[in-house]
């Protein structure tokens, strides 16, 4: 797994050169017990392949789904997951924290 920011950005660049759309998801804010710190990234290509992590695995599926929509539409999205949100338990964020993730198309 690639875990350095430059590796993720290099993968995004390579996917773009191969003609694939790419979205970047970034943890921009956390509250309480959050699985990944602010600044954590995940890149997704139009095929649904992803690298990196914004939640230690607990909300990645939902973020990838949203990222595919962002690639298609070109419209960025702000996502928020937390224990107060009904979707938190559905996607597995049961740690008691909250995270805000910005998803944008980069290629």
Residues 86-95 pLDDT 10s = 555 565 555 6
pLDDT tens profile 42-89: 999 999 999 999 987 778 999 999 999 999 999 999 999 875 555 555
Phi and psi at residue 31, to the nearest 5°? -135, 140
Between CA 107 and CA 38, with CA 105 as vertex, the angle to 5 degrees is 120
Domain parsing of the chain, residue ranges: 5-105
Query: What's the rounded Cα separation, in Å, for the pair 16 and 77?
Result: 20
pTM of the model: 0.84
For tokens 């430059």, the residue is 6
């Amino acid at each position: 797994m690639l875990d350095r920011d430059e590796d993720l950005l290099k993968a995004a660049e390579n996917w773009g050169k191969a003609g694939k759309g790419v979205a970047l998801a970034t943890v921009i804010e956390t509250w309480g017990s959050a699985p990944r710190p602010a600044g954590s990234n995940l890149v997704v290509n139009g095929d649904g392949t992803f690298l990196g992590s914004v939640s230690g695995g607990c909300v990645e599926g939902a973020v990838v789904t949203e990222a595919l929509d962002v690639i298609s539409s070109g419209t960025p999205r702000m996502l928020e997951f937390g224990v107060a949100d009904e979707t938190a338990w559905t996607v597995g964020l049961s740690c008691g924290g909250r995270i805000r993730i910005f998803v944008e198309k980069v290629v």
